Structure 1
């Protein structure tokens, strides 16, 4: 197949903040990883060209990208960034024979069977069983996917579960939701809280409830102050975030029947370290009444891989090109 589908191949994982690029130089060999800030480039094609120039390669025929957005046709308009493009026009502009575009969490789901145990940190639950795997992860937005066993292989779900309606569990969360509805309207998605901007929104709700102004701190400042233990309100923000994520992850596990584990991706939770394991996440994950015992058996893993979605993008491209050995 390598003579029909030559290397290197361009791989990319495009988030709302950063674009991660790499070259697959041989089957399964991913090298030359580079991260470019999305805001530095007017278009996706500009960012791809810049990476290829920096990697000093001009011989790419096949490319695949995972992107933080629904991919429902040729035209892609990013939800959390201004890039908008035609897949076919971009393929032609860059001279590729193949440009495969899939949702970034679909790509990350495809990577789950390939992640080494050393890059996964288990947070509660029992032994891993064969069955559906759930995936949820907070970054610039909230990604949701799953992996379903199909014969001897897997099928990834391309969904937008981050945009389901947020449901409060207690009076404090109801008050936070009420504040958010005043700013955003009646529908407030889980992503509005379970994301970088979500940390800021939760902080704003708590500050305003205390008679202070909104917009005081960035997500990075909230995380740093909360983890250091020197800011009680920021600690409370992180506590709310982890608890809310527990409820959302438990909902997803029930929906998919995810006895094969729940995986936490995205850039936020891995930075929380031991605090996440000590938080109310696991308690809220299991707090589903008659199905508490069902969920208590389901293991949860925090993904600590540096660039896991690139592995999924590589697998998707190999499958698309018929490289079934890759």
Structure 2
């Protein structure tokens, strides 16, 4: 029995996987809001007590850099360590990996039904692949072919410097720099980024917020879902929210293009996470891909890169399970991996 985990800034998802069912289907899984728990160990203790299963290995995808088997989560005051988890819960083998590395590990295991094509492009067989996922923060990872299979690599690219691509984005950068100091792609291409963009545009276009929307935003602990729903025309619909979503997707497209260039992702770029699934109707309107392709002399090259949206709701859990089986040496049934 393998324990897999996806520990983000907002939620923790845990699942148990067996050799018989494989990496793409959990025997049991559950999710928790992190704000309701003091630490990860409390969640894990509850999960293991509830399931009553013996775990022989674990792989946990965590939202932050992993150094010497330990991670201090970037957007949550938790520290998680392999040794501590192994000793406290008597798990023989425990491994921490970055959550986007976990998502990247899932990419070769996904079927075509788990993907939506945003740009068919012309994929290079065995070419590098990139993964980008806006959530509480902004995760980035990539995959390389080693002659036998794809290998996933974590990055902290979401914390590099944000590069504005328009006069409006320059204004946003100036405002955020005054408030936050360092402005990264995560500052704008994330759930928190959506809220920042909305406040920026609301101040710039004063008086456009409908009263009912104001009430919804006050009631919501996280304003991003409210803004996204209003942007798609839900009640209360808002032109200001639509502009917010369009600016967010343009900046996300530009950053996805930056990542593709840096890792030469001729094999494809994959978008993941609940935010991009929520904005799918707006994502298909073209602003994202327009910004993705807009790379000067390499615009034609960018047009040839395939871009996919991952429809599978828990790719990091699948990737962590795959890592867990590899770490524990458990043989698995063949994956859906191909070289395309």
Judge same fold: TM > 0.5, yes or no.
yes
Structure 2 CA distance, aligned partners of 1:313 and 1:133?
18
- The answer to whether 1:81 aligns with 2:76 is yes
| Residue in structure 1 matching 2:40, options 2, 24, 44 | 44
1:90 Cα deviation from its structure 2 partner? 2.1
- The answer to whether 1:302 aligns with 2:295 is no
Q: Give the 5 Å matches for 1:1-326.
A: 8-27=1-20, 28=22, 29-55=25-51, 57-130=52-125, 131-185=127-181, 187-211=182-206, 217=217, 218-228=223-233, 230-325=237-332
* Number of equivalent positions: 317
1:322 Cα deviation from its structure 2 partner? 2.4
Structure 2 CA distance, aligned partners of 1:296 and 1:213?
37
The 1:212–1:116 alpha-carbon spacing in structure 2 relative to 1, beyond 3 Å, is same
The residue aligned with 2:338 is: none
Q: Secondary structure at the match of 1:323?
A: coil
The residue aligned with 1:5 is: none
Structure 2 CA distance, aligned partners of 1:169 and 1:85?
37
Deviations, residues 18-61 of structure 1 (Å, cap 9, x unaligned): 11111112251522121111122211111011112222x24112
Q: Secondary structure at the match of 1:167?
A: coil
Is the contact made by 1:45 and 1:94 (CA closer than 8 Å) also made in structure 2?
Answer: no
1:325 Cα deviation from its structure 2 partner? 4.1
Deviations, residues 223-273 of structure 1 (Å, cap 9, x unaligned): 111111621111000000110011101111111111111000121011112
Highest relative contact order (Cα 8 Å, sep 6+), 1 or 2?
2
Mean Cα deviation higher: 301-310 or 124-133? 124-133
Please report the RMSD computed on the Cα atoms of aligned residues, expressed in angstroms: 1.9
Structure 2 CA distance, aligned partners of 1:173 and 1:62?
46
Structure 1 CA distance, aligned partners of 2:260 and 2:246?
21
Q: Secondary structure at the match of 2:203?
A: helix
Deviations, residues 128-182 of structure 1 (Å, cap 9, x unaligned): 3321000001011100000001111122112101111110011111111111111
Q: Secondary structure at the match of 1:123?
A: strand
1:77 Cα deviation from its structure 2 partner? 1.3
Q: Secondary structure at the match of 1:30?
A: coil
Mean Cα deviation higher: 143-152 or 84-93? 84-93
Is the contact made by 2:128 and 2:145 (CA closer than 8 Å) also made in structure 1?
Answer: yes
Mean Cα deviation higher: 313-322 or 293-302? 313-322
Structure 2 CA distance, aligned partners of 1:43 and 1:212?
42
Give TM-score, length-normalised by structure 2: 0.89
Structure 1 CA distance, aligned partners of 2:290 and 2:238?
24
Runs of 4+ that moved beyond 4 A: 211-214
Mean Cα deviation higher: 81-90 or 303-312? 81-90
Give the gaps of 5 or more residues in structure 2: 218-222, 334-340
